[in-house]
Amino acid sequence: MIVVLAGGVGAARFLEGVVTVLPQEQVTIISNTGDDLDFFGLRVCPDIDIVIYTLAGRVDAARGWGLLHDTFHVVESLRRFVPDVWFNLGDHDLATCLYRTVRLAAGATLSEVTAEIVRAHGLGVRLLPMTDARVETRVHTPAGELSFQDYFVRRGTADDVLAVRFAGIEAAVPAPGVLEAIASARAVLVAPSNPIVSIGPILAVPGVREALRATTAPVVAVSPIIGGETVKGPAARMLRTLGYEASAAQIGLLYRDFLDVLVLDSVDAALAPVVEATGLRAVVTDTIMRGRHEKAALARIALTAAGIDG
């Protein structure tokens, strides 16, 4: 069984490659939930849902989120009452959130509901939230403290991020199966996600980072930073405003206490000796996931680096 730590669109695209190489039943995904929000009373889990929609072949790839051919009648009607509705959810996407909210209100855990939604989409992967507790990523900016979605969607990542905290993390425990999956994995892959707000919340759940240090499985990360920037998203700028270097080598340093191998892009080949000087193994390849072939190729390289033949 392979474990993948995942958050955001980059992780979903990487997972497309993983399940091309391996049977879905051999893949366990641990998802970030720090981005979750309540939208007019409905629980929205963006990072969980983007993985499900992507692997089910239903994602709207042009938008990069939501469901293909979805309509937006509910949100359009809401704007009659609340003109500044800034979070967009399609009607079928809202149905997912409605089901999740009803099941949670009935006493189900987020883990249980997520498994039900995965099965309803005909998927064979095991998708675990990082925790069943509510954890909220909050960013401190010159404009004050913002929820992640306020920063990311409403304000379009226009603000400098000066600090990040995960509200509720101290009381959180790993969701059932998370620690066991890491301990028993043949390999652990860290998807090319934002290390601060996508992978960071997972690592902050008490016990997870310790489990990664303790596992006998090789741990391989794919750098989301390519030539000092990201293909999409605010990770590079966020690293800089938080006082880090925006580089593939920095990704290795952030994960160094549990990481064995860092996969970095060919444009960063000169950084391979820098990475290896920290005790990690560096693997250099093309990491830009342009299409299905490139996604599978990257997944295969990451798995091979972990000693797994795809």
* DSSP letter for each residue of 82-136: -TT------HHHHHHHHHHHHHHHTT--HHHHHHHHHHHTT--SEEEESBSS--E
Q: Does the pLDDT value for residue 275 go beyond 70?
A: yes
| pLDDT at residue 64 in the model | 87
Distance CA 78, CA 73 (A): 9
Q: Does the pLDDT value for residue 310 go beyond 70?
A: no
Q: At what angle are helices 292-305 and 9-21 packed, to 10 degrees?
A: 80
Q: How confident is the model at residue 234 (pLDDT cuts 50, 70, 90)?
A: very high
Q: How confident is the model at residue 170 (pLDDT cuts 50, 70, 90)?
A: very high
Distance CA 245, CA 238 (A): 10
Q: What is the mean pLDDT of the chain?
A: 97
Distance CA 212, CA 13 (A): 23
- Quote the radius of gyration of the chain (alpha carbons, Å): 19
Averaged over 278-286, what is the pLDDT?
A: 98
Q: Which two tokens stand for residue 117?
A: 């939604």
| Model-wide pTM > 0.75 | yes
| pLDDT at residue 207 in the model | 99
Q: Does the pLDDT value for residue 39 go beyond 90?
A: yes
Q: Does the pLDDT value for residue 309 go beyond 90?
A: no
Distance CA 279, CA 302 (A): 18
Distance CA 168, CA 170 (A): 6
| Percent of the chain residues past pLDDT 70, beyond the cut | 100
Q: Does the pLDDT value for residue 7 go beyond 90?
A: yes
| pLDDT at residue 254 in the model | 99
Quote the strand ranges of 184-280, DSSP E.
187-190, 219-222, 261-265
Looking from the CA of 4 toward its CB, the CA atoms found within 13 Å total 32
Residue 131 CB coordination number (10 Å): 29
**All domains in the chain, ordered by first residue:** 2-134+171-305 (3.40.50.10680)
CB within 8 Å of 126: residues ≥ 6 apart: 27, 28, 29, 115, 118, 177, 181
Distance CA 220, CA 169 (A): 25
Give the three-state DSSP class for 250.
helix
Q: What angle do CA 13, 303, 59 make, to 5 degrees?
A: 15
> 68-82 as b/e, with b when 16 or more CB fall inside 10 Å?
eebebebbeeeeeee
Residue 232 CB coordination number (10 Å): 12
Location of structure tokens 């795809």: 310
pLDDT single digits (tens) 112-168:
999 999 999 999 999 999 999 999 999 999 999 999 999 999 999 999 999 999 999
Q: Does the pLDDT value for residue 298 go beyond 90?
A: yes
Distance CA 310, CA 301 (A): 9
